[in-house]
Each structure stands twice: as C-alpha cells, then as structure tokens.
Amino acid sequence: MEKILTDLVLSPLWYFAVARGLLVIVILMSISAYTVLLERKASAWIQGRIGPNRTNHPLISWIPFVGTFLAKGGFIQPAADGLKFLFKEDALPGHVRKVYYVLAPIIALAPAIVTMVMLPFGQLPGGQIITLCPGADVGVLFMFAISSLGVYSIALAGWSANSKFPFLGAVRGAAQLISYELAMGLSVLTVFLATASPNENNALSLVSMVNAQTGAWNILFHPVAALVFLICIFAETNRHPFDMPESETDLVGGFHTEYGAFKFGIFFVAEYSHMIIGSSLFILMFLGGWHILPWMPTIGSGIIATLLGLGAFFFKLCFFLFFFVWVRWTIPRFRYDQVMRIGWRVLLPIAVLNLLAYFIWYALRG
C-alpha cells in the first residue's frame, strides 16, 4: 500500500508518469463536475428547492437503495452534464476570429492544469511531498504567475468573439484581475515575511510554508492578510460577488456569450479549477495545509498520518468549495465601479498598511 502510493507519487517510471497525468485530469474534471453538482444542490437548498434528483442510468438504477440514493442525490447528474456538453453540436459562429476563438478555452484550462500539478497535498511517511509533479517544489510565485495567465483566455475569448457583450466582459475581467493581483500579492508577502528567513533556500516554497504552520496557523497571526487574500481569490476566480466578466444580467454571458458545447464546458471546468487552486493556496498559506488542527501533534505514524493529512486537506478543500457556493447564493453582485473601488481604494491600502505594520513590527523586534 505504502509502496504503491510512494511509487505513484515519486516513481520516474513512464507508466507511473502516465497514471499521474491521467489522475490530474480525472481528479480535476471530476472535482470540477461535482463542484457544479454542489453548486446546483446548495443553491436549491438555499432556495427551498430540491435540486437535481432525476438523472439515473439503467446500469445503476436497478441496485436497491444505492441506485435510488445516487439518483436522489444527483450523483449521476455531472456525468449527464458533461456528456451533454460533449455531444452537443460544436457550433462555430461565422463572425468570430476562429483561431483565437478556439484557442481561448485551451488557454483557460492549461494554466489551471499546470498550477494544479504543482500543488502539494500532503506528506509521505518519508517526508516527501505529495504533488502530481514530484520534485518540483516551485513555490508560490510560480503559482501566481501561471494561474494569472487565465486572464489571457478571458481577454482572448472576449476579443475573438467579435461582439459587444463578450468584449465588455473581457475588458472588465482583465481590469479586475490586474486590480486584485496587487492586493493579493501584498497580503501573501506579509505571510512570507513572517515564515521565511532571508538566507533560506526555497524561501517562497509552499511546503516550507505548511511546515512553518505545524504549530500556529498563519490565519491566527495574519487575519487581515487572510481576509484580503480571501476576498482577492474570490475576485481572481471571477466568482460572485465579483463575477464581472460574466455578469449575466447586464452582459448576457460576458466573455463566453458566444461559446457553446464543449468549449463552454472547458471554460466552466477552468472556473472551478481556479476555485480549487485558490482554495488550496488559502489552505496551504493560512489554514495549515495538511495539518489537522493548530498545535495538534501528528496522529499515528507512517501511512496513517499521511492519509489523515490528505483527508484533512481534502476536508478543508471541500469546505472552501462549499463556502464559494454559499457566498455566491448569498451576496448580490457588486457594481463594476464598486469592484474597482474595493480593489484600489480599500484592499490595496489595507494590504499595504498591513505589510508596513508587520514590517515595522519585525524591524523593531529585530
């Protein structure tokens, strides 16, 4: 068991590499798909409805209890949704710039997958880090650099669609991403100021960040930075209440107005991937990563501890995904000028002041 897990994570053998690659896609796609289900179910509960509870398949529905449970819970719904996207006619509107139009969803998904493989999830008993791309402890800068590339897909989609609503959505999306990138970076800086020492290698490594939270979690010492970061990941993922690029009430569908079928599906997956990445970063930087609770000693040893850590991480991730959904169905969308004001006139000063405060504190303390 332990051997297989270790091999799967670390072995350079080609079939393990292929398995890891497939695993990325399967996990990403299925988490995204089930986040969609969560979104639909949670919104239904909030609104006093039932949510998807009909989809079933003959191969499953005959099973007593289980079949009914899967149908009522909507667990087969994501498969149906995905298959629908897959089998719909992939129409290419006549007025679009075709190459960029096709390129945009690819550019949306690629950074998401690249960032995903770099995320550390847990620690093997030998101390090695579980990621989908072993040995590449690239640190938080890489994460930010790559995941921010997603804005190109929005800009590209809006521009290539060659119609006004996508274009407006794209312009808004680009401006919003740039605006919140600053505050986010400054808030992260505060945390790293605390955890990384100047001479250390891998100073910006996420793993060392997690290791630094073995005792107290960063959120306890940096609540303002955590709040700013949290708000910023909402804005960066274009989720409510910051979904300016989509903004269906005033922009029809925003940047993906002209997209349909599987290309639209890819945008969808990319959005949920960004949610996963954002949540993971928050967990890693502020919520102790795979540590179960602050100041809690490691429970068990070896494989047990690894699995518990993975479980803790997964539990925190699930909560965050639910939190994203919960917020979406609670708070109305900001107006565009409000979004800009919050980004530039509220979050950025707070992040700067926060950084300065910690800077002075550390300087005075020596």
- Member of 47, 87, 178, 359 binding other proteins (CB under 8 A): 47
Q: Of 230 and 281, which CB lies nearer to other proteins in the complex structure?
A: 230
Span of 45-53, 170-178, 246-254, 276-284 interacting with other proteins by CB under 8 A: 45-53
- Member of 7, 45, 87, 299 binding other proteins (CB under 8 A): 45
Binding mask 48-67 for other proteins (x = CB under 8 A): xxx-----------------
Non-local CB neighbours of 230 within 8 Å, separated by 6+ positions: 282
Q: Of 34 and 192, which CB lies nearer to other proteins in the complex structure?
A: 34
Span of 37-45, 153-161, 244-252, 352-360 interacting with other proteins by CB under 8 A: 37-45
- Member of 8, 19, 44, 133 binding other proteins (CB under 8 A): 44
344 binds other proteins (CB under 8 A): no
**CB of 48: closest distance to other proteins in angstroms?**
4
Q: Give the integer Cα–Cα distance in Å for 220 and 342.
A: 24
Q: Of 161 and 231, which CB lies nearer to other proteins in the complex structure?
A: 231
**CB of 214: closest distance to other proteins in angstroms?**
30
Span of 175-183, 209-217, 218-226, 327-335 interacting with other proteins by CB under 8 A: 327-335
- Member of 327, 336, 341, 352 binding other proteins (CB under 8 A): 327
Q: Of 46 and 357, which CB lies nearer to other proteins in the complex structure?
A: 46
- Member of 33, 42, 151, 206 binding other proteins (CB under 8 A): 42
315 binds other proteins (CB under 8 A): no
- Member of 100, 314, 319, 329 binding other proteins (CB under 8 A): 329
**CB of 230: closest distance to other proteins in angstroms?**
11
185 by Cβ neighbours in 10 Å (0-12 / 13-18 / 19+) ranks as: middle
Q: Of 242 and 255, which CB lies nearer to other proteins in the complex structure?
A: 242
Non-local CB neighbours of 158 within 8 Å, separated by 6+ positions: 166, 167, 168, 169, 170, 171, 173, 245, 254, 255
46 binds other proteins (CB under 8 A): yes
**Dihedral of alpha carbons 184, 186, 192, 198, sign:** positive
99 binds other proteins (CB under 8 A): no
353 binds other proteins (CB under 8 A): no
Span of 19-27, 46-54, 120-128, 291-299 interacting with other proteins by CB under 8 A: 46-54
Distances (CA, A) of 265 to 51, 68, 85, 152, 220: 20, 28, 6, 18, 38
Interaction site with other proteins (CB under 8 A):
42, 44-50, 326-327, 329-331
